[in-house]
């Protein structure tokens, strides 16, 4: 049967199992194969939120207020939805800055202030002590109940002697020993305890199973399911009220304030911070926990009301404490093994909370309270001691014992006056004081150190006055008149009706006044004074945490000189020389340095050392210690602003530079193309010049030859003389024409030609051209035929230039047409918005291969040896340039022996073309 030895053995065996799990977890972590690196273990470890309060206290609360126990679990569910923005950011910040506790977080955010860290630690320790007392009370009550199986013994109200005569004291010390074993076996810079997390997750599973086992037992064994329990309860007049939102569940204000409190608690209870932020392996686990964790809460709460109702209906009113129904119902129904399972479940809930909470608190006490003080005491000469890691562990162990002793004392002094949940709510209200400084700190740049200090201090004092002191008064340790008449008998100072505010329950009342004082001071004081450089720097690091990568956080705002060895030995003193050496070597490897000696002691290394140290002794102390070995030059606010300005300017410049270089590349490409074109043109020009000089030399040579003949032979007869002079004149004319044309072409090509555009009728141009060449055609016996439509739209062009084109084409036609029987025709026609002019001859024709060549400069078709054509070879190129200039086209169609047709097009005057189309 269930005897004391069995219970004790079972309890110790269970604790032994937990320790084995923790040990295994640590081993696996050291081997690099973590057993906690998955979201399910993470979510289960978050369930350390569910303590004796949940396991025993919820039923007690439900027995008096129906579903009034639920806001404590609905709050975290709602909060989980906001984790995506809030918790992820906190985790990111903490990882970037190696923050290991709430005190460290707040201190670090507000300029690495040691004062602030200390204040937060005090608030956390004082605030959590009632909560630890709650666990002690639950363990000690349930322990004495299960020892008396099969009777149901209620713990007497008379107090046993303090300390050594009291079982609860031994329980507290046992828990302290257990916590020390779990949490402070060695010092780790990250403060992570993988084994512990594994054990806590296991405990969460056990308490859930135990509670659900009792729930199923009550609901389906003692009764016929949910419907049955509720129907029966509804028939009992006193129980009917528990099923509605009447007076029993308290007002909606209570409901809302409990929801708010639990929202703050799920984030800012030191143990929640420990498992959520510090022990977090991977951010993605948190995102999955957003729904897994609320699911756990839902599961562990389904049976609370059935157990409470079952207990109330089973036991005569007032004989059994509703906080113990989870245990006493199985005992009363003769299910001792289920009772033992329930007891183990309750033990899980309590030990999980106590262990994680005290570890988190001891880290804070050590890093943010004791170390800063010790480091300031110059007499201790701590800053020059070789190895301080032992001292750090000692302080933490001492803190764990101290916290449990304080918890025990609170239990002893005030524990009996309250139900479990009411004690827990006192702690929740204390922890809620962190909310403004943390939430404000990560979203609002303007929060300052003294603002946070003022807010925290004010909120904490109001909490002490309106909630903590009354809890002592109710237990008789302060005069009860303090409650009923107010401080010094002043009515307005009644702690639970401050300034006459009545109608709220004590929690909502405290929450209102403390939040008013806290947020009010935080905002008002923050706005009253400009932040310092350090505060400004940290505010940016925190608020912009999601924008910057880990590497860039922090080190920039630093200026000074340091040596690698100094930093290494400093680190060695706190972490142990081997760990420090290891940490620096891995840092050197990451930076690509070959050895420690080749490392530069730059801002980045100093920052790295500081954050390593921050893990062990807190950011504020780390700041002080690093400063002691590094010659730093303080940065003023102006300088920080300058650095930030410079950085943003550099950023802007580099963007501009990028743009410029892109533009430059495009420009250089254009230049390359232009250069290529130039080279091509240059080559063309050389060709042109050599051709021109050649063409010039031919007439010059003949002029010179004939002139010399005339000079050397004065006795030439007149007829011959006249013939020679005629040749000289003809060649000179040819030379002039050639030079004129060269000039003309070069003008057109260079764009320097003058154009006198006007609206002209092409028919008139044709008429004039025909008139001009008619004499020549007649002389050569060439027949000219003109084919012009009656009406044609006008075109815009230079009349003289078009005349030049027409004359050139006609004289070419006359030159090359058949002799005799030459025939030339001109035709004007409309073609797709263009005017088309054809000049056709019946001459020898041009072969396909020559058709494009004739438009090149100085190219003339024909055998130059036998049949030297007249002309300069520039006429057609000039014509083509002119027609192109007016937006038209000039080409030739021909077959050898069948004559040739030179055609060109010109666009109609656009204005007129439109009006014609319309």
Partner 1 sequence: MIRPSIKGQRLVALFLLGFLLLNYPLLHLFAGPVRVLGIPILYAYVFAVWALLIGLMALAVEKGDD
Binding site for partner 1 (CB under 8 A): 66-67, 70, 74, 77-85, 88, 226-228, 230-231, 234, 240, 243-246, 252, 255-256, 259, 283-284, 287-288, 290-291, 294-295, 298, 302, 305, 546
Q: Which of 435, 349, 312 is nearest to 137 (CA)?
A: 349
| Mode of pairing for the β-strands spanning 900-907 and 834-841 | antiparallel
Q: Toward partner 1, which CB reaches closer, 553 or 766?
A: 553
> Least distance in Å: CB of 49 to partner 1?
16
Which residue number, 39 or 195, has a Cβ lying nearer to partner 1?
39
For residue 419, the minimal CB distance to partner 1 (Å) is: 21
Residues 113 and 620: beta-carbon distance below 8 Å: yes
For partner 1, which is the closer residue by CB, 430 or 545?
Answer: 545
Write the DSSP assignment of 99-136 as a string of letters: --SHHHHHHHHTTS-HHHHHHHHHHHHHHHHHHHHHHH
Q: Which residues contact 357 (CB under 8 A, 6 or more apart)?
A: 128, 131, 132, 269, 270, 271, 274
Minimum gap (Å) between residue 608 Cβ and partner 1: 21
- How many Cβ atoms are within 10 Å of 357's Cβ, its own excluded? 26
- Token match 């109609």: residue? 908
Shortest Å, Cβ 543 to partner 1: 14
Buried b (16+ CB within 10 A) or exposed e, 139-161: bbbbbebbeebeebeeeeeeeee
Instruction: Return the number of the residue (83 or 522) whose C-beta is nearest partner 1.
Output: 83
Nearest-approach distance from CB 612 to partner 1, in angstroms:
24
Residue 241 C-beta: closest distance to partner 1, Å: 9
Of 76 and 130, CB closest to partner 1: 76
Identity of the residue, 234 or 380, whose beta carbon is nearer to partner 1 in the bound complex: 234
Distance CA 728, CA 704 (A): 8
Nearer to partner 1, 70 or 525 (CB): 70
Q: Is there a contact between 878 and 854 (Cβ–Cβ < 8 Å)?
A: no
d(CA 365, CA 363): 6
Q: Which is nearer to partner 1, 284 or 655 (CB)?
A: 284
* 3-class SS shares of the chain: helix, strand, coil, % to 5: 70, 5, 25
Torsion 679-680-682-687 (CA) sign: positive
Residues present in the chain in total: 918
Q: What is the spatial distance between Cα 733 and Cα 711, in angstroms, rounded to a whole number? A: 21
Q: Which of 556, 523, 565, 551 has its CA nearest to residue 538?
A: 556
Q: Which is nearer to partner 1, 85 or 170 (CB)?
A: 85
CA 144/CA 758 separation, integer angstroms: 120
Q: Give 18 or 62: the residue with its C-beta nearer to partner 1.
A: 62
Shortest CB 45 distance to partner 1, Å: 18
Bond from prior residue into 150 cis (ω within 30 degrees of 0): yes
Annotate 477-543 with DSSP letters as a single string.
SS-THHHHT-GGG-GGG-TTSGGG--SS-HHHHHHHHHHHHHHHHHHHHHHHS---HHHHHHHHHHH
- Whether the CA torsion 562, 565, 566, 568 is positive or negative: it is positive
CB of 261 to partner 1, least distance (A): 14
Please say which residue, 233 or 364, places its beta carbon nearer to partner 1.
Answer: 233
Report the C-alpha gap between 316 and 281 in whole angstroms.
50
CB of 549 to partner 1, least distance (A): 8
CB of 85 to partner 1, least distance (A): 6
Residue 67 or 201: the one with the smaller Cβ distance to partner 1 is 67
Task: Find out whether 892 and 851 touch, Cβ atoms under 8 Å.
Answer: yes
Q: Which is nearer to partner 1, 245 or 444 (CB)?
A: 245
CB of 288 to partner 1, least distance (A): 7
Q: At what angle do helices 167-183 and 389-414 cross, to 10 degrees?
A: 150
CB of 224 to partner 1, least distance (A): 10
Task: State how far the Cα of 842 lies from the Cα of 821, in Å rounded to an integer.
Answer: 9
* Minimal distance, residue 243 CB to partner 1, in Å: 4
| CA nearest to 373, candidates 623, 118, 126, 612 | 118
Min separation Cβ 227 and partner 1, Å:
3
Backbone angles phi and psi of 203, in degrees to 5: -60, -40
**Alpha carbon distance 222, 313 (integer Å):** 11
Q: Which residue number, 82 or 684, has a Cβ lying nearer to partner 1?
A: 82
Our CB check for partner 1 shows the closer of 439 and 487 to be: 439
Report yes or no: 144 and 440 within 8 Å, Cβ to Cβ. no
Nearest distance from C-beta of residue 238 to partner 1, angstroms: 14
Question: What is the Cα–Cα distance from 601 to 594, expressed in whole angstroms?
Answer: 14
55, 298, 348 from 76: Cα distances, Å: 17, 11, 21
Tell the smallest beta-carbon distance from residue 282 to partner 1 (Å).
10
Whether 370 contacts 346, CB under 8 Å:
no
Minimum distance from residue 554 beta carbon to partner 1 (Å): 18
> Judged by CB, which is closer to partner 1: 88, or 541?
88
CB of 69 or CB of 777, closer to partner 1: 69
d(CA 408, CA 134): 9
Q: How far is CA 432 from CA 73, 98, 248, 257, 774, in A?
A: 16, 23, 25, 11, 113
Q: Angle between the 449-463 and 102-109 helix axes, to the nearest 10 degrees?
A: 140
CB-nearer residue toward partner 1: 49 or 255: 255
CB neighbours (10 Å) of residue 689? 11
Q: How far is the CB of 93 from partner 1 (least distance, A)?
A: 14
């Amino acid at each position: 049967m269930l005897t004391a030895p069995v219970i004790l053995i079972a309890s110790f065996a269970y604790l032994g199992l937990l320790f084995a799990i923790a040990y295994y977890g640590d081993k696996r972590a050291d081997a690099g194969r973590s057993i906690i690196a998955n979201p399910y273990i993470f979510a289960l470890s978050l369930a350390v939120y569910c303590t004796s309060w949940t396991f025993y206290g919820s039923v007690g609360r439900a027995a008096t207020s129906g579903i009034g126990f639920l806001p404590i679990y609905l709050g975290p569910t709602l909060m989980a939805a906001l984790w995506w923005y809030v918790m992820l950011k906190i985790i990111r910040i903490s990882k970037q800055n190696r923050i290991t506790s709430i005190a460290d977080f707040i201190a670090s955010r507000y300029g690495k202030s040691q004062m602030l860290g200390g204040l937060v630690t005090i608030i956390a320790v004082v605030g959590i002590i009632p909560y630890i007392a709650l666990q002690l009370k639950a363990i000690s009550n349930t322990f004495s109940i299960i020892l008396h199986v099969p009777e149901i013994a209620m713990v007497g109200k008379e107090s046993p002697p303090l300390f050594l005569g009291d079982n609860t004291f031994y329980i507290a010390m046992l828990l302290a020993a257990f916590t020390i074993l779990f949490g402070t076996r060695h010092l780790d810079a990250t403060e992570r305890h993988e084994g512990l997390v594994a054990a806590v997750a296991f405990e969460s599973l056990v308490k859930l199973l135990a509670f659900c086992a009792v729930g199923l037992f009550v609901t389906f064994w003692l009764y016929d399911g949910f419907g049955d329990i509720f129907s029966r309860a509804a028939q009992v007049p006193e129980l009917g009220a528990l099923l509605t939102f009447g007076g029993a569940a308290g007002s909606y204000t209570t409901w809302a304030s409990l929801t708010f409190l639990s929202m703050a608690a799920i984030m800012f209870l030191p143990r929640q911070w420990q498992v959520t932020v510090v022990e977090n392996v991977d951010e993605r686990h948190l995102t999955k926990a957003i729904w897994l964790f609320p699911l756990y809460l839902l599961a562990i709460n389904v049976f609370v009301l059935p157990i409470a109702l079952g207990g109330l209906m089973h036991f005569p009113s007032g004989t059994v404490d509703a906080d113990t129904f989870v245990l006493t119902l199985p005992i009363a129904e003769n299910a001792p093994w289920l009772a033992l399972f329930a007891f183990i479940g309750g033990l899980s809930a309590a030990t999980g909370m106590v262990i994680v909470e005290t570890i988190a608190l001891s880290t804070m006490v050590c890093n943010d309270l004791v170390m800063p003080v010790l480091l300031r005491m110059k007499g201790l000469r701590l800053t020059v001691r070789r190895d301080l890691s032992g001292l750090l562990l000692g302080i933490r162990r001492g803190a764990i014992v101290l916290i449990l002793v304080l918890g025990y004392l609170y239990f002893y002094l005030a524990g009996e006056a309250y139900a479990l949940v009411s004690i827990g709510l006192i702690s929740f209200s204390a922890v809620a004081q962190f909310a403004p400084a943390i939430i404000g700190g990560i979203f609002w740049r303007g929060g300052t150190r003294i603002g946070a200090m003022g807010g925290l201090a004010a909120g904490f004092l109001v909490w002490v006055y309106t909630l903590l002191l009354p809890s002592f008064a109710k237990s008789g340790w302060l005069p009860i008149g303090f409650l009923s008449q107010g401080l010094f008998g002043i009515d307005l100072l009644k702690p639970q009706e401050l300034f006459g505010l009545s109608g709220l329950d004590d929690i909502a009342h405290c929450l209102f006044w403390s939040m008013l004082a806290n947020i009010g001071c935080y905002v008002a004081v923050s706005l009253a004074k400009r932040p310092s450089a350090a505060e400004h720097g940290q505010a940016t690091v925190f608020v912009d945490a999601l924008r910057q990568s880990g590497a860039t956080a922090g080190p920039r705002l630093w200026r000074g000189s340091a040596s690698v060895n100094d930093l290494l030995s400093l680190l060695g003193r706190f972490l142990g020389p081997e760990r420090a050496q290891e940490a620096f070597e891995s840092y050197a490897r990451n930076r690509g340095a070959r050895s420690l000696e080749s490392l530069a002691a730059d801002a980045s290394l100093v920052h790295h050392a500081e954050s390593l140290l921050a893990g062990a002794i807190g950011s504020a102390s780390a700041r002080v210690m690093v400063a002691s070995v590094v010659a730093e030059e303080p940065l003023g606010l102006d300088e920080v602003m300058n650095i930030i300005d410079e950085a943003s300017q550099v950023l802007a410049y580099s963007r501009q530079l990028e743009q410029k270089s892109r533009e430059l590349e495009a420009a250089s490409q254009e230049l390359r193309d232009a250069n290529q074109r130039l080279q091509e043109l240059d080559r063309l020009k050389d060709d042109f010049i050599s051709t021109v000089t050649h063409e010039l030399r031919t007439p010059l040579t003949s002029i010179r030859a004939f002139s010399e003949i005339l000079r050397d032979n004065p006795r030439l007869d007149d007829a011959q003389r006249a013939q020679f002079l005629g040749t000289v004149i003809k060649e000179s004319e040819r030379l002039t024409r050639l030079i004129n044309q060269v000039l003309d072409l070069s003008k057109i090509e260079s764009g320097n030609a003058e154009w006198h555009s006007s609206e002209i009728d092409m028919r008139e141009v044709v008429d004039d051209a025909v008139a001009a060449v008619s004499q020549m055609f007649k002389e050569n016996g060439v027949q000219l035929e003109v084919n012009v439509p009656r009406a044609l739209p006008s075109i815009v062009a230079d009349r003289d230039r078009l005349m030049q084109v027409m004359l050139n084409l006609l004289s070419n036609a006359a030159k090359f047409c058949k002799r005799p029987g030459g025939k030339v025709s001109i035709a004007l026609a409309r073609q797709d918005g263009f005017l088309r002019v054809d000049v056709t001859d019946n001459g020898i024709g041009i072969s396909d291969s020559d058709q494009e060549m004739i438009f090149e400069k100085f190219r003339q078709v024909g055998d130059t040896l036998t049949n030297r054509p007249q002309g300069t070879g520039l006429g057609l190129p000039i014509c083509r340039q002119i027609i192109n200039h007016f937006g038209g086209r000039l080409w030739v169609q021909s077959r050898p022996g069948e004559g040739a047709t030179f055609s060109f097009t010109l666009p109609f005057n656009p204005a007129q073309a439109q009006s014609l189309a319309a």
